[in-house]
Copies of this chain bind each other. A is one copy, B any other.
Amino acid sequence: VEVQAGERMDDLQYRGLRIIQDTGDFCFGLDSVLLADFASARPGDNICDLGTGNGILPLLISGRVMNTRFDALEIDPAMAARAERNVRLNGLENRVSVYNRDLSAIRLLLPSGGHDLVVCNPPYFRHAPRQAGTESAIDLSRTDAACTMDDVSRAAKWLLRNGGKLAVVFPATRMLDAMDAMRAVRIEPKRFRLVSPYAGKAPFICLIEGVMGAKPMLHPLPPLVIHEAGGGYTAELRKIYHMESPALPVTSVNEKG
């Protein structure tokens, strides 16, 4: 596996994992790191990642939870090929399968009720319809031209066993849309965490996990704070990233916007 023109390789500084990214394409952000930490993956789980990008979620979750297995979909061919190379780079060929397929192909591609967990870092921004058909890979990863939370929830409903989970990261301003999209397919939101840039500041993203067929009862976790008042990352953020040093080798979450 070699780094190609326009790409860079980063050491994730976590269990020896490395990742190749195209600097001109969408690079993973802090939101993926938070989702990988938040999702209730258990050892042995069969997990599906909808829109895997460079493959960051399977990489991080496979490092965190033993014996997990992944089906990772990615609509963009160059992204999917890079995810595939990242799987080989980290020796995860027997745990991660990458499919260069659209969400709409899910029923032809994977069996019904065969997954314990679906994770998704979906596009954050509503797609402007006039651009249809002219989207670049970076457009597709930032807007919901290729997938909306309704699409994600419907795909998850197909994939999940009863009691299976769907975990997503989403802009806090649209959290109600995300939760309602889950409820519409009987995936009941059960865990919820707001993320603020600083203590005492308004939350900007949220983490939501729903359970297929569960009864309504939402458990909000303590709010997560990214930065200390004086700069640098909070102790909890450093713990999530298994970091000793107060610097993150990831692009900012704002890069997505």
Rounded to whole angstroms, the CA-CA distance of A219 and B202 in the bound complex is: 8
- Residues of the B chain whose Cβ atoms lie less than 8 Å from the Cβ of A217: 173-174
- Contacts known (A180-B183, A183-B180); A194 close to B173, Cβ less than 8 A: no
Rounded to whole angstroms, the CA-CA distance of A189 and B176 in the bound complex is: 8
Rounded to whole angstroms, the CA-CA distance of A199 and B224 in the bound complex is: 10
- A172 near B220 with CB under 8 A, answer yes
Q: How far is the CB of A238 from chain B (nearest CB, A)?
A: 15
Oligomer copy total: 2
> A200-222 CB contact bits vs B (8 Å, 1 = yes)?
11110010000000001111111
- B220 near A203 with CB under 8 A, answer yes
- Residues of the B chain whose Cβ atoms lie less than 8 Å from the Cβ of A174: 216-218
A219's contact among B173, B179, B219, by CB below 8 Å, is which?
B173
A179 to B, closest residue via Cβ: B176
> A173-186 CB contact bits vs B (8 Å, 1 = yes)?
11111011001000
- A202 near B173 with CB under 8 A, answer no
Is residue A196 within 8 Å, beta carbon to beta carbon, of the partner chain? Answer: yes
The A interface is mostly helix, strand or loop, or mixed, namely mixed
Is residue A223 within 8 Å, beta carbon to beta carbon, of the partner chain? Answer: yes
- A200 near B222 with CB under 8 A, answer yes
- Residues of the B chain whose Cβ atoms lie less than 8 Å from the Cβ of A203: 220, 222-223
A126-173 residues at the B interface, CB under 8 angstroms: 172-173
A176's contact among B201, B218, B221, B222, by CB below 8 Å, is which?
B218
- Residues of the B chain whose Cβ atoms lie less than 8 Å from the Cβ of A216: 174, 176-177
- Residues of the B chain whose Cβ atoms lie less than 8 Å from the Cβ of A220: 172-173, 175, 194, 202-203, 206
Add 7 more A-B contacts to A174-B218, A200-B222 (CB < 8 A): A173-B217, A176-B179, A176-B189, A177-B216, A196-B223, A202-B222, A206-B220
* Chain A to chain B contacts (Cβ below 8 Å), 28 pairs: A172-B218, A172-B220, A173-B217, A173-B218, A173-B219, A174-B216, A174-B217, A174-B218, A175-B218, A175-B220, A176-B179, A176-B183, A176-B189, A176-B216, A176-B218, A180-B180, A194-B194, A194-B220, A194-B223, A196-B223, A199-B199, A200-B222, A201-B222, A203-B220, A203-B222, A203-B223, A206-B220, A223-B223
